[in-house]
Structures are given as C-alpha cells and as structure tokens.
Amino acid sequence: MKNNNIPSYILAIILSIIFIYPLYILILIAFEPISLTFDRLYPYQLPFDFTLANFESSIKDLSLITPVLRSIVVAFIVSILAIVLSTSAGYGLNKLSSRFSNKIIVLMFFANMLPAIVIAIPISVYFIKLGLYDNVLGIALAQELVVLPISAFIMLGGFRSLPRDLENQANIDGAGMISTFRYVIMPLIKVPLTITFLLAWMTSWDEFTYAIIISPLAPTFPVSLYDYVSRGEPFISASFALIVTIPVILIVVFLQKYLKGEYLTGGMKA
C-alpha cells in the first residue's frame, strides 16, 4: 500500500460506515430485548444485551413465510423478463443511429416520470378484468414497468461497448445471426446482463406501491412487513427482515464475480 492511498482508504471506510449503519441498527433491534431499543426514548447505539426472543416469535409466526416465497417468485419473474426484454431491446436499439436510440430510451423512461400510484390504479382496473389482480404474474408485470427502462438502458450501453467488427467478423466466419448472438455476443455481455438481473431482482424485492395496489390480498413481503409494523410489532419484523436479507446478500455475492468489465475489448487492442 502506497502512502498516497491512505486518504482514499479513509474515505472508503467512512462511506462503508454510512451504508452499513442502517443494517447495523436492524441487527441491533433484532437481537436486543425491547427494553433496550423501542422502549427507550434514546436507544443505545452499542449492544449491551443479547436475546433470540424476537427471532423465536418471528419464526413461530409462519404467516410471513408465504409472502416471502411470493416475493421471491415475483422477483425472479421480473428479473428474467427484464433480461429477455432488455437484451432484445438493447440489441435492436444499438443497430439504430444513437440519435434515434437515445430518444427512444428517454421515451421509455416516461412511465417512470409519473408517480407510481398514478399508473398503478388504472392498471389495476384492467388487471381485474384480465384476472391478473391479486396475482403473482400481475405484480410482476406491473413492476416490470419500473425495471424495464433502466434495464434496456444498461443493456444498450453494454452492446454499445462491444466492438462492432466482432459481429462482422463472426458473420464473415460463417455464423448467422443466431450463432453470432449465442457464441460471440452473449459471452461478452455477461456483465451488463448480471447488473440488469441484480437490479431488477432487488427492485422487485422491495417494490411497494405497485405491489400493494395490484395485490392487496395476496401481499408480497414488503407489504406484509408493513402490515406488521403498523400493527405495532416492529421488533418481530426487524428480525424477520434480517433473515430474508440473507438470500439477497447471497445472490449479490454469487453474482459478484461477473461484475468486472476490463476484459471486454481485450481482444481488439494490438
């Protein structure tokens, strides 16, 4: 480590503390007796006691398991759909001149400029007719609205960063469109693909507005968590939230190895 790197390290540590602090509070609430957290006007910032009582009562209360499973299903539908749609959108947009494709991307973001509630209510009216109300697929389709523009944007960026001659070369080497895509392009867009997947998955995982309006009776996890908090049981939901954070962390850790971008143009430089 060089000396001139020390300020960067200090900054990185400060940043991490800021980002980790909420998680720390969550852990504190989950493992401390209520007497030290919610019952105090100024809760302690350091752990003085340890209890598993909150965990016991949250695990006993199995009514949260179904919403969690539902949320997982919805998140996977949203993210897989996002990958399929945004890959084709990005690939197609990349063939247009950038003046056109930039405008189309801006148009796609238009739905996100309105408050979600403005769109969710009319959608729910149609979804009742279509049988998508109170339905996993219904939530997923509505959440896709939030996820798709940014996904398409990321994928377009990914395709733009590919050297164009690579596709030409594959063509010349005898590959048709499908083979080119499968053997040459797909392996090179793993990074944006992973980012798209992660972003879509996590956005769906804690999306609230569409979920509560489209599917109030078959709620996703954030919606039922909210129910618990409003019923006055925040410590149970805190410990449960901690449990269900674990799969999210696992997914991020597992996909992290794809999140590096330096090899993309390697073969093209002399």
For residue 42, give the DSSP letter: S
Binding other proteins (rule: CB under 8 A), the pick from 176, 230, 231, 250 is 176
Measured from the CB atom, the residue of 162 and 244 that comes closer to other proteins is 162
Under the criterion CB under 8 A, does residue 216 sit at the interface with other proteins? Answer: no
Under the criterion CB under 8 A, does residue 257 sit at the interface with other proteins? Answer: no
Under the criterion CB under 8 A, does residue 168 sit at the interface with other proteins? Answer: yes
Residues binding other proteins: what is the number (CB under 8 A)? 25
Cα separation, 164 vs 176, whole angstroms: 15
Under the criterion CB under 8 A, does residue 243 sit at the interface with other proteins? Answer: no
Binding other proteins (rule: CB under 8 A), the pick from 7, 22, 115, 187 is 187
Supply 256's token pair: 């992290």
Smallest distance, other proteins to C-beta of residue 87, A: 16
C-alpha closest to that of 67 among 211, 270, 183? 211
Smallest distance, other proteins to C-beta of residue 262, A: 9
C-alpha closest to that of 68 among 246, 209, 198, 251? 246
Count of other CB atoms within 10 angstroms of residue 130: 11
Smallest distance, other proteins to C-beta of residue 225, A: 42
Measured from the CB atom, the residue of 53 and 184 that comes closer to other proteins is 184
Collapsing DSSP states into helix, strand and coil, what is residue 134? Answer: coil
Cα separation, 109 vs 89, whole angstroms: 14
Residue with tokens 């992660």: 198
By CB under 8 A, what part of segment 87-126 binds other proteins?
A: none
Smallest distance, other proteins to C-beta of residue 179, A: 6
C-alpha closest to that of 128 among 142, 117, 143, 114? 142
Under the criterion CB under 8 A, does residue 161 sit at the interface with other proteins? Answer: no
Number of H helices, E strands in the chain: 14, 0
Smallest distance, other proteins to C-beta of residue 152, A: 23
Under the criterion CB under 8 A, does residue 258 sit at the interface with other proteins? Answer: no
Under the criterion CB under 8 A, does residue 265 sit at the interface with other proteins? Answer: yes
Binding other proteins (rule: CB under 8 A), the pick from 7, 22, 115, 174 is 174
Smallest distance, other proteins to C-beta of residue 258, A: 13
Cα separation, 188 vs 88, whole angstroms: 15
Taking a C-beta distance cutoff of 8 angstroms, is the pair 227, 70 a contact? no
Measured from the CB atom, the residue of 16 and 265 that comes closer to other proteins is 265
Cα separation, 68 vs 84, whole angstroms: 24
- Catalog residues that contact other proteins under the rule CB under 8 A: 163, 165-166, 168-176, 179, 183-184, 187-188, 263-270
